[in-house]
Amino acid sequence: MKITLYVLNDVTRDSRVLREAASLATAGHQVTVIGTTRPDEVSGAREIRDGFTIIRVALLRRWPLWYVWLQHPWRLWRRVANDIRAAGRGGSHGVERALIAVLAALVSLPWLVVRGAWQLATHTLIGRPVERNWLDYVLWWRSFVRSWGRAALAVAPPSDVHHANDMETLPTAVEAAQRDGGRVVYDSHEIFLEFGEHLRQPGWMRGIVGRWERRLARLSAAVVTVNEACAAELTRRLRPRRIVVVHNCPPRWSPPEPPTDLLRHAAGISDDAPIVLCHGGFQANRGLEQTAAALTEPGLEGTHLVFLGYRTAILEPIVAAFPRPDRIHVLPAVQPDELLGWVVGADVDSIVFQPTELNNLISTPNKLFESLAAGVPVVSSDFPIRRRIVIDDPDGPLGAVCDPTDPQSIAAAIRSIVDVDPAARADLRRRCLDAAHARWNWETESARLVSLYADLAQEASGRRAPA
């Protein structure tokens, strides 16, 4: 069976999509993944990887100039600065672009004053910050998402199933399936309308997008998602024909002997100091500040905190405010296939998402399963879906849960792991590794995805069979 997967990223670090594509290819399907271009690529670039093909399609990188001028004219000056910096690299064409940008900015000064005064009157004076509004949201869909979708559709090979990863690619998958007379699978990694810009839209806009998502999901043969809590919420919202849970677990992995201790060596941490790790995406409401505050609580004076991932602006004030700079470390992100070799060096992985939105409350992040795969106990937010994994494991707890908003509660959970004797800590690590090998691994999870596609292939064969 021919399968095309769509995803709105460059398909280099999306472990879920890469694993899904490889598993389906191993099962005998002809698989293509369509993503976005990397900075050094032209649209349509192709790569063969793990038995499947990746096609990368360019995504618009900047807002259209006319809309910046109309809606946010003050942003023209940032574009002017960027174009001037790029002028030296672009030869005469770059200089021409920079001059046009400067002229446009100067001509726009009166409009900038008018528009700025309007923003000040309608937003700042009534206590609301200047931020993107529903017009920006509509344009984002039209000029970024849907324009990429049309380009993706143009290069998508004829396929039996078009597999959309998240709502941004679902319209494209539906259009491709209608073109080919194929089926659609909607892979919803989280509840789409409950995070980021989508969550901040006015109710009427969220209602429109919600109805659109529900209609497209009803056209799909199945919805795939990441855990039972998401499945229950998506069932309530979308009423899909079929829903399949595929957790974001890495493949089974065994720690090297002797241990590599990559974290300690890279951060310069002594062998006897416990390490609390935060790895993955550094975003707001992920409990980074609360974890750092917990490390200042009594009883953790000798414990080190390591952030492993892409350094973002959110980390700067956390690191700057930490009272012991020698005990906080920021290490760069590593390749996905190297990650577990780094995680294994931690004593605890802190995953204390804040209860600020639905997706946080029902999430089972990749880092949770990555920690277990490396045999590292976790300290997690005490949310029901997490508690079932961390505390209610049939062989015993795989770490501790806490109130993620309370640094003292986080500290107590960390101490419950690092303060026990070495034999008990070794037993806990073994239990985490055993749970990953027995239950929380890609070999187990991918079987449900492969089974879904076997069913779709059988149904397709039945439809094609002669009367």
Rounded to whole angstroms, the Cα distance separating 376 from 340 reads 10
Q: How confident is the model at residue 347 (pLDDT cuts 50, 70, 90)?
A: very high
Q: By mean pLDDT, which of 8-22, 60-74, 253-267 is the weakest?
A: 60-74
How many residues are given for the chain? Answer: 467
Kindly indicate the confidence band of residue 101, based on its pLDDT and cuts at 50, 70 and 90: low
One DSSP character per residue, 18-50 reads: HHHHHHHHHTT-EEEEEEEPPTT--TTEEEEET
C-alpha span between 74 and 440 (Å, rounded): 50
Segment 32-77, tens digit of pLDDT: 999 999 988 999 999 999 999 999 999 987 666 666 666 666 666 6
* Nearby residues of 218 by Cβ (< 8 Å), 6 or more positions away: 238, 239, 240, 241
Q: Do domains 2-61+135-245 and 262-440 have the same CATH topology?
A: yes
CATH number of the 2-61+135-245 domain: 3.40.50.2000
What's domain 262-440's architecture? 3-Layer(aba) Sandwich (3.40)
CA-based nearest residue to 286, from 345, 234, 363: 363
Domain boundaries, the chain: 2-61+135-245, 65-133, 262-440
What is the average per-residue pLDDT within 245-268?
Answer: 93
- What is the rounded average pLDDT for all residues in the chain? 90
Q: Region 188-204: what's the mean pLDDT?
A: 93
Strand 52-57 relative to strand 45-49: parallel, antiparallel, unpaired?
A: antiparallel
Which pLDDT score, from 0 to 100, does residue 116 have? Answer: 65
The helix or strand, by DSSP H or E, that contains position 225, with its residue range, turns out to be strand 222-225
What's this model's pTM, rounded to 2 decimal places?
Answer: 0.87
Would you state the pLDDT for residue 467?
Answer: 44
Mean pLDDT along residues 342-350: 97
Partnered with residue 3 across adjacent β-strands are 31, 161
- The fraction of the chain above a pLDDT of 90, given in percent, is 76
